[in-house]
Amino acid sequence: MEIQVSESAGVRYLHFGSNWVQGAMRVARPWALELDYTRAMMAALLLRPAADWPRSVLLIGLGAASLTKFLYRHRPTAKLTVVEIEPAVVAVARQNFKLPEEDERLRIVIGDGAEFVAASQQRFDLILVDGFDENARTGMLDTLPFYLNCKACLSSSGLMATNLLSKRRGVRDALARINEAFADRAIALPSCDSGNVIAFATSGAPTTFQIGELKTAARRLKEETGLNLQPTLSCLEQSNHCPAGKLHF
């Protein structure tokens, strides 16, 4: 796989042998989330608003390390495990995208994400799935066995967030597989401008969120981290997931 790095208007981009953007970092703000879909994935923090959540995170697919760096900086009590199948991606992320060195909080595993969750005995509060090859294919990361294994790896309060592409056929089928694995405990955000669809799933106790409560949590998160999730909440509010201003999840 050919890995390329480009830069334009203060933003550094990661590519896998094409113009397709696999990750991005604003050079002046390396810890911030530059791409819309990465910000949308962090809406998980609104669904579990405790300051000490998550304590354990599994990230499948490293890319430009945007999600890894954000959580490393803003959730200092969290232990992060990153599974990346391509060693060269890790090297490029360190050289060009300020991926921190491994320590007691950050572990990098070179391997297949589907195989990792199938074999893991560990439980995670948050699983983030963002793995694509140079042709935007997910392989085993969008299969019913994979989603079932992710569910088995979640803690009692755990969430899975996965990045799907509406520009690929099969998003509806992918959501059906997620719902089957998680007993219809999944929601999908409206598609980002980039064509990314972010889905969340859980097997924990059902919770009802008032939109006003989520907006309050979003304001607090913005004050703490600079992350603005108000646009994400506006899209969610306009979706069919929030009848009468309530999100049941």
130 labelled catalytic: yes
Cα-only R_g, the chain: 17
Specify the DSSP element, H or E, that contains 136. Answer: none
Token pair, residue 122, equals 């560990």
Q: Are 25 and 6 in contact (CB under 8 A)?
A: no
Number of other residues whose CB lies within 10 A of the CB of residue 79: 17
Q: Give the residue among 158, 210, 146 at the shortest CA–CA distance from 185.
A: 158
| Catalytic residue chosen out of the listed positions 36, 112, 125, 130 | 130
Query: What's the farthest any 2 CA atoms get from each other in the chain?
Result: 49
User: 8 φ, ψ to 5°?
Assistant: -155, 130
Residues labelled as active-site residues: 130
